[in-house]
Amino acid sequence: MSSEVVSARCDAPFKEVARLLAENRISGLPVVDDREKVVGVISETDLLYHHVRQESEYGHRRFHLPRLTRSARVAAVKARATTAEHLMTRPAVIASPGQYLAEAARTMEQHRVERLPVVDDEDHLVGIVTRGNLLQVFLRPDEEIHQDVIDQVSRGIDCPRYTVDVAVDNGLVTLKGHLDRRSDAALAVRIAELVDGIVAVVDQLTYHLDDSRPQPPTVGPSGHL
């Protein structure tokens, strides 16, 4: 994340918001209250509603938005907004400092947003993650990814570092090795997939016991279970 975040207060005037976006060359920013808690997000699109209304009114065309849908009502409010509080989209889609970047990317995709304010346990703004930040992750050298995968997999499945052989080629990770249980192999793959900069994981792990299936009961010498 970027720890230096441009934000606006709820009572910031429309022109102040526009100035912040233009001067900092950004396409959106979080809105915070007096306690620095994130309450919403403003994007360039939110400001454009205002221009659409002006063009329609001054061009003597009736500005018409159907009032039946929620999105249309929200658009009408933003078109007449004069402060950040009425411009912003709420609630803000946020991330936490400890969140994996893969999860952040999935959140952006699901909510169709280009930035995620990062907040602490009390919703205070501590940073921001943008699509540009996520793309930078894929520039990590293979050597860094290799070391990261080895460290996290060995800790995650509680095994010696040499148990799983890791190879990385342009972000493509291949896992080889023989583990005790199938669940350990599956966990190793999931852990590797969450490492920053991974393009894909090729699973070539083998295992001794398939613990995903119910095991038959053990029969003692006397024939009893």
Calculate what percentage of the chain has a pLDDT beyond 90. 53
The domains located in the chain, with CATH, are: 8-137 (3.10.580.10), 142-209 (3.30.1340)
Q: Are 118 and 127 in contact (CB under 8 A)?
A: yes
Contacts 24+ apart (CB under 8 A), 46-55: 46/78, 46/81, 46/87, 46/88, 46/89, 47/14, 47/17, 47/18, 47/21, 47/87, 49/75, 49/78, 49/79, 49/81, 50/14, 50/78, 50/79, 50/80, 50/81, 52/79, 53/79, 53/80
Query: Which pLDDT band, with edges at 50, 70 and 90, does 218 fall under?
Result: low
Owner of token pair 């022109």 = 15
Under DSSP, the state recorded for 83 is: B
Tens-digit pLDDT profile for residues 40-80: 999 888 888 766 555 554 445 454 545 556 666 666 667 77
Claim: this prediction has a pTM higher than 0.75 = no
More confident residue, 49 or 109: 109
> In this predicted structure, what is the pLDDT of residue 58?
47
* Rounded Cα–Cα distance for residues 217 and 225 (Å): 7
Q: Are 67 and 101 in contact (CB under 8 A)?
A: no
